[in-house]
């Protein structure tokens, strides 16, 4: 068994992340002393640091693993010794395991995390046609997870149409179950949402800094399910309005907790306790 864990999160503006506490508490519960540091490039002393420098420093200082977040999830791929096939397919890594020789392997637990959260929170939800809004960092993971979950037709909208088109093309190219994916313009969003069985928000809309909803919820029927990846706050305006219409909803905590559960197992070789991880996440 791992005797201790030294972990970190590399990203921009991550000081409020709940991930360090989830790993430190879970490590302690498994009698594995765990230190998890945020390595925030918005800190003045890291203003000039490159990802290569930070990764090299972590390897040299004996870190056992790293989580990687915005803006480095794609860039880190080229710096690793090995990349898990799922992460390579979606071109995004959020978890790096560093072995005792310094060898690095990249994984993506955002995909498995969203899928696990969806299975737990929206079990049995209709999978025919789903509209996904947002094709950025979280959106790429969500899109591939939805394809893995067996969504038959995935319609993707993003203010950056090229981003939506790129994600749709990548999903079509790699889907093992033949998911049909296509991009639409924002002018087609309401019409698509009105006839979809499910809606997923993977934009920052709903956060304090981006108030409102990414789509007009008056087009939802009571049988439409609605998922949000935003978790600051957990109850977004989109989810509140959808719930008021009687829709089943899924908040962003499932993805956030399950990505950490899967990463903890990769770092420690131990199964995390899902209930305990969730309680830690919600205790902030
Ligand atoms: P990002 O900037 O990489 O991507 C956001 C995408 O949304 C961009 O492509 C942008 O063009 C698009 N967009 C923005 N406003 C839009 C609108 N009104 N209509 C259509 N498209 C729009 O950001 P990200 O890293 O993907 O993060 C998005 C949200 O997901 C944030 O709130 C973040 O906190 C959250 N997130 C949650 C989890 C989780 O575990 N639950 C994980 C990662 C990110």
How far, CA to CA in Å, does 143 sit from each of 133, 244, 249?
10, 26, 18
The one-character DSSP state at 3 is S
Would 5-109+255-282 and 126-247 be classified into the same CATH topology?
Answer: yes
Residue whose C-alpha is closest to residue 250's, from 209, 201, 193, 181: 201
- Contact indicator for 23, 267 with CB cutoff of 8 Å: yes
Tell me if 137 CB under 6 Å of ligand 1: yes
Rounded Cα gap, residues 239 and 251, in angstroms: 7
Ligand 1 centroid to Cα of residue 270, in Å, is 31
Per residue in 107-127, pLDDT tens? 999 999 999 999 999 999 999
Residue 1 pLDDT greater than 80, yes or no: no
Which ligand 1 atom sits closest to the C-alpha of 163?
Answer: 9
Mean pLDDT of the 223-251 span: 97
Ligand 1 centroid to Cα of residue 229, in Å, is 8
Interface confidence (ipTM) of the complex: 0.99
pLDDT of residue 74: 94
Mean pLDDT of the chain: 96
Per residue in 67-102, pLDDT tens? 999 999 999 999 999 999 999 988 999 999 999 999
Q: β-strands 95-98, 65-68: how paired?
A: antiparallel
Tell me if 6 CB under 6 Å of ligand 1: no
- Contact indicator for 108, 174 with CB cutoff of 8 Å: no
Rounded Cα gap, residues 149 and 127, in angstroms: 8
pLDDT band at 176 (very low <50, low <70, confident <90, very high): confident
| H or E element that contains 276 | helix 274-282
Residue 2 pLDDT greater than 90, yes or no: no
Rounded Cα gap, residues 246 and 49, in angstroms: 49
Domain 126-247 class in CATH: alpha beta
Rounded Cα gap, residues 143 and 158, in angstroms: 12
Rounded Cα gap, residues 166 and 144, in angstroms: 12
Domains of the chain: which residue ranges? Answer: 5-109+255-282, 126-247
Tell me if 206 CB under 6 Å of ligand 1: no
pLDDT band at 172 (very low <50, low <70, confident <90, very high): very high
Active site residue 208: no
Tell me if 184 CB under 6 Å of ligand 1: no
Give the domain 5-109+255-282 fold: Rossmann fold (3.40.50)
% of the chain at pLDDT higher than 70:
100
Residue whose C-alpha is closest to residue 231's, from 254, 261, 200: 254
pLDDT of residue 75: 97
The SS3 assignment for 60 reads helix
The SS3 assignment for 198 reads strand
% of the chain at pLDDT higher than 90:
95
Q: β-strands 180-184, 153-157: how paired?
A: parallel
How far, CA to CA in Å, does 106 sit from each of 97, 110, 113, 260, 264?
7, 12, 15, 15, 14
């Amino acid at each position: 068994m791992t005797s201790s864990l030294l972990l970190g999160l590399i990203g921009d503006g991550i000081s409020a992340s709940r991930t360090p506490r989830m790993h430190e508490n879970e490590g302690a519960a498994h009698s594995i002393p765990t230190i998890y540091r945020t390595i925030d490039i918005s800190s003045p002393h890291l203003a000039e640091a490159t990802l290569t420098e930070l990764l090299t420093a972590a390897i040299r200082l004996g870190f056992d693993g790293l989580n990687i977040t915005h803006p480095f999830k794609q860039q880190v791929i080229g710096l690793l010794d090995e990349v898990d096939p799922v992460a390579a397919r979606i071109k995004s890594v959020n978890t790096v395991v560093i072995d005792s020789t310094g060898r690095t392997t990249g994984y993506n637990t955002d995909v498995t995390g969203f899928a696990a959260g969806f299975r737990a929170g929206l079990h049995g939800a209709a999978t025919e046609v789903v509209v996904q809004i947002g094709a950025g960092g979280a959106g790429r993971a969500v899109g591939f997870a939805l394809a893995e979950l067996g969504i038959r037709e995935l319609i993707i909208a993003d203010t950056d149409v090229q981003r939506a088109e790129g994600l749709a093309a990548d999903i079509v190219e790699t889907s093992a179950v033949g998911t049909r994916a296509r991009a639409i313009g924002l002018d087609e969003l309401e019409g698509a949402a009105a006839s979809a069985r499910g809606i997923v928000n993977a934009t920052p809309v709903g956060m304090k800094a981006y108030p409102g909803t990414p789509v007009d919820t008056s087009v939802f029927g009571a049988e439409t399910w609605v998922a949000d990846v935003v978790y600051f706050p957990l109850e977004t305006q989109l989810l509140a309005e959808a719930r008021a219409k009687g829709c089943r909803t899924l908040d962003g905590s499932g993805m956030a907790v399950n990505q950490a559960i899967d990463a903890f197992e990769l770092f420690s070789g131990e199964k995390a306790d899902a209930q305990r991880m969730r309680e830690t996440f919600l205790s902030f």
